[in-house]
Amino acid sequence: MSFLTTFVNGLSLGSIYAIIALGYTMVYGIAKMLNFAHGDFIMVGCYIIFLFSSNLGLPPFISILIAVVLCTVLGITTERVAYRPLRNAASPLAVLITAIGVSYFLENLALLIFGADTKSFSSVITWSGLSLFNGELQIQGITIVTIAVSLLILLVLQLFVHKTKEGQAMLAVSQDRGAAMLMGIDVNKTITLTFAIGSALAAVAGALLASAYPSLTPYTGAMPGIKAFVAAVLGGIGSIPGAMIGGLVLGIIEILSRTYISSQLADAIVFGILVVVLLVKPTGILGKKIQEKV
């Protein structure tokens, strides 16, 4: 039963990585850029929930909704102010460096406002969970909710992308931005919507992450954000199901490594997987090789 408990915990952590990776993969798939400030959007969402639930006493659900709205606004604003002017820059490194700058800006802004002290985060999930096999298998409520929420988000995103007009526009822009513009699609609006969805997902991931690991600092989102990027690459960046698969696989590997190998080597194993994937199958599990047009 100890292995099964560890495996379920891996699914829970992997589900958080998957939700974060969905934000990475959507932005990359449509805007063809890596938003390395995405992990810090998670941190912002955590602080917003902490402020409204712990300090102001609002119900957790209301605090999460506020965090989703404010993170969505932050994502839209960041895209318009920092990224859109550089979208057609001569070098793609310009946007990448800007994203890193936005990341440091958000971290230092949080340091100025909240300080460097670790804040204790009260879980937004009060359900105690399930007890199975005469109590030998204990599954915490946050674990079940996290897995269920990630699967629900995957289903909703898949339906949105393939069944709505806005989703079809996203697919068109991801295939050929120039052709999409000629067909009358508002590329700026589509990319802005993508950033809005990704930032909203960051707030949800932040609530789940802080509930499972109840400590909050200005750097809370940094490492999960980087690991979620590894998950996106593992699953095939640009693929929504790939992000989910990559997140779950990475979470399971990390928890199993911490339990059965070494907690100190777990992160090294995670990033070692990235190196192996890039060497063996750079497109990831569900990624497709793109033919460059000359």
Residue 72 pLDDT = 95
Average pLDDT over residues 237-265: 89
37 and 102 Cβ atoms separated by less than 8 Å:
yes
pLDDT of residue 126: 65
Provide the strand spans (E) within the chain: 119-120, 130-132, 137-139, 215-216
Which pLDDT belongs to residue 54?
Answer: 78
At 289 the pLDDT is 61
Cβ–Cβ < 8 Å for 106, 121? no
Across the range 155-161, mean pLDDT stands at: 91
**What's the pLDDT at 19?**
93
Which pLDDT tens digit goes with each residue over 181-218?
Answer: 888 888 889 999 999 999 999 999 988 888 888 888 89
3-state SS, one letter per residue, for 214-257: CEECCCCCHHHHHHHHHHHHHHCCCCHHHHHHHHHHHHHHHHHH
The number of beta carbons lying within 10 Å of the beta carbon of residue 7 is 14
Tens digit of pLDDT for each residue in 40-88? 999 999 999 888 887 787 888 898 999 999 999 999 999 999 888 887 7
Specify the pLDDT at position 48: 92
Question: What's the rounded mean pLDDT across residues 148-173?
Answer: 90
Judged against a pLDDT cut of 70, whether residue 291 lies above it is answered with: no
Report which of 82, 81, 70, 12 is spatially closest to residue 41, judged by C-alpha positions.
Answer: 70
Instruction: Sort 239 into a burial class: Cβ within 10 Å, 0-12 / 13-18 / 19+.
Output: buried
Residues with Cβ < 8 Å from 6, sequence gap 6 or more?
255, 256, 259, 260
Count Cβ neighbours within 10 Å for each residue of 71-83 and write b for 16 or more, e otherwise.
bbebbeebbeebb
> CA angle, corner 243, sides to 204 and 121, nearest 5?
25
Q: Report the chain's mean pLDDT, rounded to a whole number.
A: 85
pLDDT at 290 over 60: no
Task: Tell whether the model's pLDDT for residue 153 goes beyond 60.
Answer: yes
Q: What is the DSSP string of 134-145?
A: TTTEEE-HHHHH
Task: Check pLDDT > 80 for residue 128.
Answer: no
Rounded distance between C-alpha atoms, residue 76 and residue 246, angstroms: 26
pTM for this predicted structure: 0.90
pLDDT per residue as tens digits for the range 222-241: 899 999 988 988 888 888 88
**Percent of the chain predicted with pLDDT > 90:** 30
Q: Tell me what percent of the residues of the chain surpass a pLDDT of 70.
A: 91
Question: Is the pLDDT assigned to residue 293 strictly greater than 60?
Answer: no
115, pLDDT greater than 80: yes
